[in-house]
A = this chain, B = another copy of it.
Amino acid sequence: METQDQRPAKLHKLDKVGVSNLKTLVETRYKGRMYRFIPSIDLTIDLSGERKGIHMSRLVEAIAESIEETITAKTQEENASLEHLGKKVLAGLSQRHPFLKGQISFKADLVVKKKTPATRKNTFENHEIMVQVLYFRGGFRKKLSCEVYGNTVCPHSMQHTGKPHIQRAKATLTIETDYEREIDLEDMVDCVEESFSSPVYTLLKTEDEAWVVNRMHENPLFVEDVCRNIISGAQRFSDSRIKVKVVSEESIHRHDVVAEAESST
């Protein structure tokens, strides 16, 4: 009998056992566009109290096999997003290894093309995203997350001195919903970007910089305001559980200020 299948010394059930920080190449196709990611993957399953260990290499095989099938599947017209890949891995793994609960997450960089606000030049903006698929009792759910940069412009300082302090801020929007509910990561990014005092850009010519600075000063917001704006904006993603965290990297302090909220739509 393999070591993993033996009875363990202590009979506690474990909630999550698996691999973490596994990086590999993934190619996907979503709405006709090709993407190439090198995501950091976590894949875990539960383990009954009767077995000493899981068979780790089967998790890695399930990932490898699904990635290869996804690449082949791309030649047909079907979608093959990170979500599809995640579901396929969990379904494939269930053929190799017993489990009641399983989850896989992909953390990756997503580059989005935009136009600069005044001179309308092309600019490319990178966001960290996370796609997670969860299996439990025959059903699939998913969590989608994006971390987006922007800024806050202090209205309290505006009121007292006529002048603001301004700083970079970072917001994370996480949506949990049914696997079938279609939500674009790009729409989530838009929802967050429009919630700051101003969106930020990698490329800014002098007129673009002026546009951003003017918008900042016309739109002073606390970290609390940004958090509420995101919750409001996320109402468009109906039937979801929404989680928002905003961190403002204060220019007048060496610590950060934060605002967090959860909500349902």
Where the two chains meet, the residues of A that have a C-beta atom closer than 8 Å to any C-beta of B are 2-4, 8-25, 36, 38, 42, 44, 47, 52-54, 56-57, 60-61, 64, 109, 111, 122-126, 149, 151, 155-161, 163-168, 198, 200-206, 209-210, 212-214, 216-217, 222-225, 227-229, 231-232, 247, 249-263
Which residue of chain B has the shortest Cβ distance to A156 in the bound complex? Answer: B3
What's the minimum C-beta distance from A44 to chain B, rounded to whole angstroms? 7
* Given contacts A160-B209, A166-B165, A258-B20, A222 and B52 within 8 Å (CB-CB): yes
Jot down 22 A-B pairs with beta carbons below 8 A, ordered by A: A2-B159, A9-B228, A10-B228, A12-B263, A17-B259, A20-B247, A20-B256, A21-B256, A22-B202, A24-B111, A38-B111, A52-B224, A64-B122, A64-B124, A125-B254, A156-B206, A164-B213, A166-B167, A167-B251, A198-B252, A200-B251, A212-B252
Q: Within the assembled complex, what's the spacing in Å between the Cα atoms of A209 and B111? A: 37
Q: Report B-chain residues with C-beta under 8 Å of the C-beta of A200.
A: 250-254
What's the minimum C-beta distance from A242 to chain B, rounded to whole angstroms? 10
Which residue of chain B has the shortest Cβ distance to A113 in the bound complex? Answer: B25
A257 near B20: Cβ-Cβ < 8 Å: yes
B253 near A202: Cβ-Cβ < 8 Å: yes
Which one of A25, A109, A122, A251 has the highest number of Cβ atoms from chain B below 10 Å of its Cβ? Answer: A251
Q: Within the assembled complex, what's the spacing in Å between the Cα atoms of A151 and B161? A: 18
B155 near A213: Cβ-Cβ < 8 Å: no
With beta carbons under 8 angstroms apart, the residue of B16, B36, B168, B228 that contacts A251 is: B168
With beta carbons under 8 angstroms apart, the residue of B64, B124, B167 that contacts A203 is: B64
A156 near B2: Cβ-Cβ < 8 Å: yes
B258 near A54: Cβ-Cβ < 8 Å: no
Which residue of chain B has the shortest Cβ distance to A218 in the bound complex? Answer: B163
A53 near B156: Cβ-Cβ < 8 Å: yes
A202 near B24: Cβ-Cβ < 8 Å: yes
A168 near B126: Cβ-Cβ < 8 Å: no
B126 near A23: Cβ-Cβ < 8 Å: yes
What's the minimum C-beta distance from A16 to chain B, rounded to whole angstroms? 4
A126 near B38: Cβ-Cβ < 8 Å: yes
Q: Report B-chain residues with C-beta under 8 Å of the C-beta of A111.
A: 23-25, 38
* Given contacts A111-B25, A159-B3, A167-B167, A201 and B253 within 8 Å (CB-CB): yes
Q: Within the assembled complex, what's the spacing in Å between the Cα atoms of A257 and B55? A: 11
The 8 closest A-B pairs by CB, nearest first: A22-B255, A10-B228, A23-B126, A166-B166, A149-B254, A16-B260, A25-B111, A151-B251
